[in-house]
């Protein structure tokens, strides 16, 4: 088995070959996906049930809530979620719903608390989810506090990311789901990066949004004055780990890779060869030399919308105003590219698909990552598909 450096050297060599030959990794054939996959309420409901409410989801970065008492409250597929960090650094996740009358306990956002009080009747919970206070309990009647804690969800912190399963089952194997992508992520020590901030943007169907992260075929058209000046169009290498992908792209400065011997080409990540790493179903991770972006795509309330949280992080904390300004510039630049050049176009695509002009969406052989992703969506929602897709 190749070590990471050897593997990255091989990838860099393949990318250089693609650049020299004008080629890219390709699937065996084209793929047609029904337009209804992006517009059908029935299909969308099945995706929510069998994917987002069944599979492990990356819901937070460790550096968003690094300290004891930190918490994050959010909504995923209409389900209110509360993630907490205890004194012993243990991370928990709960349905953010009071066990008295169903009110939301913690309002959406990030903060630091050791206990949470329901805004309706004041029932209070610890950040370990235990019910620790019932207002006027002597009047309320006999209840066993141990039976009325917040409903716990399975949760695990791995590689600087916090994963939660919304499933009612108790046998979720997070490491098995992440497959070989876990060491890919652990390699970066994301728990030691600096969290600079986040941006929130709205877009079309969650799969339209995710499709954009899986190919570089659109760079010279949609991003001609931005991404295309840094990354070459339609030159990619794909590696799969279960349903997750590592996609390599050629930087426009890739010729500089020849300044190094081949056995050191692994050093050119982010400066010759760029990578996007995806976590199925909805995470795209791009870690550049100056700033990293982690896109977290959350389906909206119907098939036509999504809300995406763009997290921005850096390998080290800025030491002065100049470095802060550089991070701000890069964060705003990347946000504008995603929103103005990808997501606004995605909204137009959604209109086109809803018009019934086409029966299907076509993915070419060069759009190999998209084909793989859509086959995995089908695999998880269609019980008749017994074997997982292969890249």
| Residue 245 maps to a domain | yes
Domain boundary among 171, 204, 219: 171
Residue ranges of the chain with per-residue pLDDT less than 50: none
Task: Report helix, strand or coil for 54.
Answer: coil
Could you list the residue range(s) of the whole structural domain that residue 84 is in? 59-171
- Domain containing residue 241: CATH number: 3.90.380.10
Contacts of 341 (CB under 8 A, 6+ apart): 222, 223, 226, 227
Is the same domain home to 137 and 245? no
Domain boundary among 171, 199, 214: 171
Domain boundary among 171, 202, 234: 171
| Residue 387 maps to a domain | no
Is the same domain home to 236 and 220? yes
CA dihedral 87, 92, 96, 97 (to 10 degrees): -90
| Residue 193 maps to a domain | yes
Q: What is the pLDDT of residue 222?
A: 98
Is the same domain home to 48 and 66? no
Surface-to-core class of residue 237, CB atoms within 10 Å of its CB (0-12 exposed, 13-18 middle, 19+ buried): buried
| Residue 360 maps to a domain | yes
pLDDT digits (tens, 9 = 90+) for 62-80: 999 999 999 999 999 999 9
Q: What is the pLDDT of residue 386?
A: 82
Strand residues in the chain grouped as ranges (E):
31-34, 57-61, 70-76, 79-85, 91-95, 109-112, 115-117, 124-126, 131-133, 152-158, 161-165, 194-203, 231-241, 244-251, 273-279, 283-287, 292-299, 306-314, 360-363
| Residue 103 maps to a domain | yes
Handedness of CA 211, 349, 291, 217 (dihedral sign): positive
Is the same domain home to 338 and 300? yes
Is the same domain home to 246 and 128? no
The region, left, alpha or beta by phi > 0 then psi within -120 to 50, assigned to residue 12 is alpha
Q: What is the pLDDT of residue 258?
A: 80
Q: How many domains does the chain have?
A: 2
Is the same domain home to 165 and 222? no
Is the same domain home to 114 and 138? yes
Unique residue bearing structure tokens 């243990």: 90
Is the same domain home to 112 and 252? no
Is the same domain home to 244 and 148? no
Question: What DSSP state is assigned to residue 233?
Answer: E
Is the same domain home to 161 and 106? yes
| 48/146 Cα distance (integer angstroms) | 31
| 5/241 Cα distance (integer angstroms) | 18
Q: What is the pLDDT of residue 57?
A: 99
Q: Which residues on adjacent β-strands are paired with residue 363?
A: 31
Contacts of 356 (CB under 8 A, 6+ apart): 35
| Residue 389 maps to a domain | no
Q: What is the pLDDT of residue 350?
A: 98
Question: What DSSP state is assigned to residue 104?
Answer: B
| Residue 367 maps to a domain | yes
Is the same domain home to 209 and 320? yes
| Residue 391 maps to a domain | no
Query: 10 Å Cβ neighbour count for 154?
Result: 18
Is the same domain home to 38 and 74? no
């Amino acid at each position: 088995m190749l070590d990471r450096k050897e593997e990255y050297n091989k990838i860099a060599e393949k990318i250089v070959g693609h650049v020299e030959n004008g080629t890219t990794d390709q699937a065996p054939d084209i793929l047609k996906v029904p337009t209804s996959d992006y517009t059908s309420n029935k299909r969308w409901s099945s995706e929510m049930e069998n994917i987002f409410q069944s599979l492990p989801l990356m819901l937070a970065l460790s550096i968003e809530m690094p300290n004891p008492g930190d918490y994050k409250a959010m909504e995923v597929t209409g389900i209110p979620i509360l993630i907490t960090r205890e004194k012993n650094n243990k991370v928990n996740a709960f349905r953010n719903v009071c066990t008295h009358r169903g009110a939301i306990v913690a309002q959406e956002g990030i903060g630091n608390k050791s206990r949470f009080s329901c805004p309706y009747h004041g029932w209070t919970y610890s950040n370990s989810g235990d019910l620790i206070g019932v207002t006027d309990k002597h009047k309320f009647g006999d209840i066993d506090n141990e039976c009325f804690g917040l409903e716990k969800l399975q949760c695990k912190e791995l590689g600087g990311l916090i994963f939660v399963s919304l499933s009612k089952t108790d046998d979720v194997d997070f490491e098995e789901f992440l497959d070989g992508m876990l060491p890919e992520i652990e390699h970066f020590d994301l728990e030691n990066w600096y969290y600079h901030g986040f941006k929130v943007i709205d877009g079309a169907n969650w799969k339209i949004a995710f499709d954009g992260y899986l190919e570089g075929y659109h760079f010279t058209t949609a991003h001609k004055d931005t991404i295309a000046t840094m990354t070459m169009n339609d030159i990619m290498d794909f590696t799969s780990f279960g349903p997750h992908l590592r996609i390599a792209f050629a930087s426009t400065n890739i010729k500089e890779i020849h300044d190094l011997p081949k056995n050191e080409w692994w050093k050119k990540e982010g400066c010759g060869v760029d990578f996007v790493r995806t976590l199925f179903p909805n995470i795209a991770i791009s870690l550049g030399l100056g700033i990293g972006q982690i896109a977290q795509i959350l389906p909206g309330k119907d098939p036509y919308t999504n809300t995406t949280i763009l997290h921005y992080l850096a390998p080290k904390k800025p030491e002065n105003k100049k470095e802060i300004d550089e991070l701000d510039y890069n964060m705003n630049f990347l946000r504008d590219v995603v929103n103005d050049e990808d997501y606004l176009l995605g909204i137009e695509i959604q209109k086109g698909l809803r018009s019934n002009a086409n029966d299907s969406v076509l993915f070419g052989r060069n759009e190999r990552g998209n084909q793989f992703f859509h086959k995995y969506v089908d695999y998880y929602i269609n019980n008749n598909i017994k074997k997982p897709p292969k890249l």
